[in-house]
Amino acid sequence: MSLHLVNPEMSRGPIWLALYYFAFGVFAAMITLKDNGLELALGLHAANNLSVLLFLSTKDSAIPTPAIWLAKDTGDPRWDLVVFLVKIAIFYYLLLGRKRKSKLAEIEEREMSIR
């Protein structure tokens, strides 16, 4: 998170964007621990950066690129944080939540077959 605190977009709302960056780091760390590997978190970070660079950019972006869409209004960083938290909850459930449920079902099935 600390490396992103010098980005020009921090002028939009330093507290909220710092929380956004911190939440992304916590989520990446949680995925790393759950998946037992760094590849998924690195891929998530790369996909996030590429989507910002190629598809939606802002005037105050740290890396100004000719993206497909240029946001004229940078928006409210509080809503960005809320939307991000909802997205990571859905992503976590789809990626790791269902995996855990299937493991629990497998364990229960094994216990039933032993009895």
Whole-model pTM: value is: 0.74
Residue 61, helix vs strand vs coil: coil
What pLDDT, on a 0 to 100 scale, did the predictor assign at position 100? 60
CB distance 70 to 58 below 8 Å: yes
Q: In the predicted model, is pLDDT for residue 103 greater than 70?
A: no
pLDDT confidence band for 46 (50 / 70 / 90) = very high
What pLDDT, on a 0 to 100 scale, did the predictor assign at position 26? 94
Strand locations in the chain (E): 56-58, 69-71
pLDDT tens-digit map of 55-91: 888 888 888 788 888 777 777 889 889 989 999 899 8
What DSSP string runs through 77-89? HHHHHHHHHHHHH
- Residue 4 and residue 6: Cα distance in Å, rounded? 5
Domain ranges within the chain, ordered by starting residue: 2-114
CB distance 31 to 40 below 8 Å: yes
20: number of Cβ within 10 Å: 21
pLDDT above 70: percentage of residues in the chain: 93
Is the backbone of residue 102 left (phi > 0), alpha (psi -120 to 50) or beta? alpha
